[in-house]
Chains A and B, each alone.
Chain A
């Protein structure tokens, strides 16, 4: 099997695993304990926090460890929405139509159960949110703006700096879901100008089950997981020490090796995009060509059942994903495909190919020689 689905998840880097190992059984203390076991564990968590803060160019008390990227999104959006409503009465939230479900479903929940109003910002055909669109939609009632850094399905990178500037000028909180972006894009929060940023370790060769939220000092936030006073009272529950250590080590490596990782995957990605567009009829690239994650290629094939294409790919030994895929065989075009204006005949046939630091040129070539035949097969099976 050849794995080409690194945006879904990545294997844990051996160096990360090594860093985590002592904290399962040897240094097992509870960071909240007074004794030396606790002190050791606390030291590990705080060292991890400092590592993360260095990469993000922020203070360590601005980092909250969570259980995953989705939890980070929930804490940021719910926490800020409740806090801002309490503080100023604001109850409008702006978000892009192409956000991850961790954001959209959270917003729909706030709308349904808590009386917030969501304004969904249209994206352009590349899936991009323009700063203008944000500026036009902002009003005095706006509590929060949430726009993802880079899109999981189509790889499009949003102009965060410019959007952050608009928010700052209007004194409105700005959250970004950077879960997909952090593996390859700089995450300097001062440079980006965001108030909150969500991260998840398993997208950059760290373990599943641990995430982080950057919260700019002074940002009002109501916790949604209540209990002990861990994580500055914003996220109760005994810290997952080995995973937090793993998170920090994985992020540190992603930061230090960023240039060489990009230099490895980007030419492979370009080879995939170029070859697919040249050799397969009725195909288009989804997302932007230049403002694009360097490891991310995504396509829409006309009149192809994306789910069937994934099945054929898997049977042929390639693991990819599709925005319309679902394990229950009930495909629907994803929200993102709808948001970028693809009709159903295109939107059902999406394919995402995402590369990793261990992807080889041979693997890419094998994939590229198999894909045209499999697309043709999928077309002939659905065109009956």
Chain B
């Protein structure tokens, strides 16, 4: 529970369905000196979640996940930037923290299922396997961050709000007298406390900010950059180079520590490779297949061919040029409403 409307209504709906419900909240990590500033567990949201549990008359527990969060999520974040990628820590948080660490704790207190306030759905497929589906409310769909779930986790997963639209969820919250505020759908990472990630890197891994050259694809030097972690693919502003045509970041070369820029025409790609692919069914498809592919949490799906290469890699060939394909983010494949799999873009 986060204290927000979605997880609160999730708990209310389960209670209404006759489940024996307990609320759990994770205490996540924040930088020393900013202990109460993690966006996912501020004192306010914790008090709110406690209030919700009291209104629903369910027990409420806070589980300390500071160390494991620091060791996995924050390390992953910093290592990703060190490799010249733009990591998405929410993915590893969902895999290692929410759906491993928290799930283990939920099972330990005797729970059979763990529910979250994510907008997504699960259903039992014809083969007996559990399928993960997009939310009914497509504009709120959060299945992207859940592509890391495996069958053994999905068996225990419930997403009660995924069958409703946001306005319906708000109406249910009002019916139960629950707080209706949502946590802002911010792209900011919870442990950055609303700050730019660059400040965080400066404080916690300043050694990674090595200045280097800005070059064209042909290798022509145009200027210098302040450290690859300071830039994202597609970025145009703040490059500090004079040019007759607008230039964009088109690649980061961590080996040479160079920032590759090019014109708008050079931006974009027809294909990508993803690794660490998780197939929700537990098995890689034998043949290439058509899918809608999402390359960022907020990106629109794009039609593509997805070709499995070995057990945990894929090559994705888009029908049209894709801008903003960014190493470190996930590419997630859908067929209709069913989430087939996803992996990390190389």
Instruction: Tell me if A260 is interfacial: C-beta within 8 Å of chain B.
Output: no
Chain B residues near A316 (CB-CB < 8 A): 109-110
Q: Which of A305, A314, A315, A377 contacts B64 (CB under 8 A)?
A: A305
Instruction: Tell me if B311 is interfacial: C-beta within 8 Å of chain A.
Output: no
8 Å CB interface, B61-106 against A: 61-66, 68, 101, 104-105
Query: Which of B27, B66, B101, B110 is the most central at the interface, judged by chain A CB atoms within 10 Å of its CB?
Result: B27
Instruction: Tell me if A159 is interfacial: C-beta within 8 Å of chain B.
Output: no
Helix, strand, loop or mixed for chain A's interface? helix
Contact mask A191-213 → B, CB, 8 Å, 1/0?
Answer: 00000000000000000000000
A313 and chain B: residue at smallest CB distance: B109
Chain B residues near A307 (CB-CB < 8 A): 62, 64
Q: How many residues of A contact B (CB 8 A)?
A: 16
- Given A328-B62, A329-B26, A384-B68, A315–B35 Cβ distance below 8 Å? no
Q: Which of A312, A314, A330 contacts B27 (CB under 8 A)?
A: A330
Chain B proximity of A331: nearest CB distance (Å): 6
Q: Decide: B62 and A327 in contact? CB cutoff 8 A.
A: yes
Chain B proximity of A346: nearest CB distance (Å): 17
- Given A308-B63, A311-B61, A381-B105, A329–B25 Cβ distance below 8 Å? yes
Q: Decide: A330 and B35 in contact? CB cutoff 8 A.
A: yes
Chain B proximity of A15: nearest CB distance (Å): 30
Q: Decide: B104 and A329 in contact? CB cutoff 8 A.
A: no
Query: Which of A307, A315, A381 is the most central at the interface, judged by chain B CB atoms within 10 Å of its CB?
Result: A315
Q: Decide: A315 and B59 in contact? CB cutoff 8 A.
A: yes
Complex: A209 Cα to B158 Cα, angstroms? 43
Chain B residues near A377 (CB-CB < 8 A): 108
Q: Decide: B68 and A311 in contact? CB cutoff 8 A.
A: no
A374 and chain B: residue at smallest CB distance: B108
Chain B residues near A314 (CB-CB < 8 A): 59, 61
B50 and chain A: residue at smallest CB distance: A327
Q: Decide: A312 and B109 in contact? CB cutoff 8 A.
A: yes
Interface residues on B, range: 20 to 34
Instruction: Tell me if B302 is interfacial: C-beta within 8 Å of chain A.
Output: no
8 Å CB interface, A320-344 against B: 327-331
Complex: A307 Cα to B105 Cα, angstroms? 12
Complex: A330 Cα to B105 Cα, angstroms? 16
Chain A residues near B66 (CB-CB < 8 A): 330
Chain B proximity of A303: nearest CB distance (Å): 13
Query: Which of B22, B63, B65 is the most central at the interface, judged by chain A CB atoms within 10 Å of its CB?
Result: B63
Chain A proximity of B330: nearest CB distance (Å): 25
Complex: A305 Cα to B50 Cα, angstroms? 21
Complex: A23 Cα to B293 Cα, angstroms? 72
Chain A proximity of B295: nearest CB distance (Å): 33
Q: Which of B26, B41, B105 contacts A308 (CB under 8 A)?
A: B105
Instruction: Tell me if B339 is interfacial: C-beta within 8 Å of chain A.
Output: no
Contact mask B45-71 → A, CB, 8 Å, 1/0?
Answer: 010001000000001011111101000
Q: Which of A305, A315, A331, A384 contacts B110 (CB under 8 A)?
A: A315
Q: Decide: B27 and A311 in contact? CB cutoff 8 A.
A: no
Complex: A316 Cα to B66 Cα, angstroms? 25
Instruction: Tell me if B43 is interfacial: C-beta within 8 Å of chain A.
Output: yes
Q: Decide: B108 and A329 in contact? CB cutoff 8 A.
A: no
Chain A residues near B26 (CB-CB < 8 A): 329
B101 and chain A: residue at smallest CB distance: A384
Chain A residues near B105 (CB-CB < 8 A): 308, 311, 381
Chain B proximity of A371: nearest CB distance (Å): 15
Chain B residues near A328 (CB-CB < 8 A): 27, 43, 46, 62
Chain B residues near A312 (CB-CB < 8 A): 108-109
Chain B residues near A327 (CB-CB < 8 A): 46, 50, 62
Chain B residues near A331 (CB-CB < 8 A): 64
Query: Which of B22, B62, B66, B104 is the most central at the interface, judged by chain A CB atoms within 10 Å of its CB?
Result: B62
Chain B proximity of A48: nearest CB distance (Å): 34
Q: Decide: B25 and A315 in contact? CB cutoff 8 A.
A: no
Chain A proximity of B7: nearest CB distance (Å): 16
Chain A proximity of B85: nearest CB distance (Å): 26
8 Å CB interface, A276-335 against B: 305, 307-308, 311-312, 314-316, 327-331
Complex: A330 Cα to B35 Cα, angstroms? 9
Q: Decide: B27 and A329 in contact? CB cutoff 8 A.
A: yes
Chain A residues near B62 (CB-CB < 8 A): 307, 327-329
Q: Decide: A308 and B64 in contact? CB cutoff 8 A.
A: yes
8 Å CB interface, B174-208 against A: none
Q: Decide: B63 and A329 in contact? CB cutoff 8 A.
A: yes
B106 and chain A: residue at smallest CB distance: A315
Chain B proximity of A214: nearest CB distance (Å): 37
Chain A residues near B108 (CB-CB < 8 A): 312, 377, 381
Q: Decide: A311 and B43 in contact? CB cutoff 8 A.
A: no
Complex: A366 Cα to B230 Cα, angstroms? 59
Contact mask B22-50 → A, CB, 8 Å, 1/0?
Answer: 10011100000001000001010010001
Complex: A330 Cα to B38 Cα, angstroms? 13
Chain A residues near B46 (CB-CB < 8 A): 327-328
8 Å CB interface, A226-273 against B: none
Q: Decide: A381 and B104 in contact? CB cutoff 8 A.
A: yes
B59 and chain A: residue at smallest CB distance: A314
Chain B residues near A311 (CB-CB < 8 A): 61, 63, 105, 109
Complex: A315 Cα to B20 Cα, angstroms? 11
Contact mask B192-235 → A, CB, 8 Å, 1/0?
Answer: 00000000000000000000000000000000000000000000
Query: Which of A308, A329, A384 is the most central at the interface, judged by chain B CB atoms within 10 Å of its CB?
Result: A329
8 Å CB interface, A38-75 against B: none
Chain A proximity of B308: nearest CB distance (Å): 32
Chain B residues near A330 (CB-CB < 8 A): 27, 35, 64, 66
Complex: A327 Cα to B68 Cα, angstroms? 19
Query: Which of B46, B108, B110 is the most central at the interface, judged by chain A CB atoms within 10 Å of its CB?
Result: B108
A sample of 8 inter-chain contacts (CB < 8 A) reads A308-B63, A308-B105, A311-B63, A316-B110, A327-B46, A329-B41, A377-B108, A381-B104
Nearest first, the 8 A-B pairs at minimum CB distance are A329-B27, A329-B62, A315-B109, A311-B61, A329-B64, A377-B108, A315-B110, A330-B27
Q: Which residues of B contact A (CB under 8 A)?
A: 22, 25-27, 35, 41, 43, 46, 50, 59, 61-66, 68, 101, 104-105, 108-110
Given contacts A327-B46, A327-B50, A329-B62, could you give 4 more A-B pairs where the C-beta distance is less than 8 Å? A311-B105, A312-B108, A328-B43, A329-B25
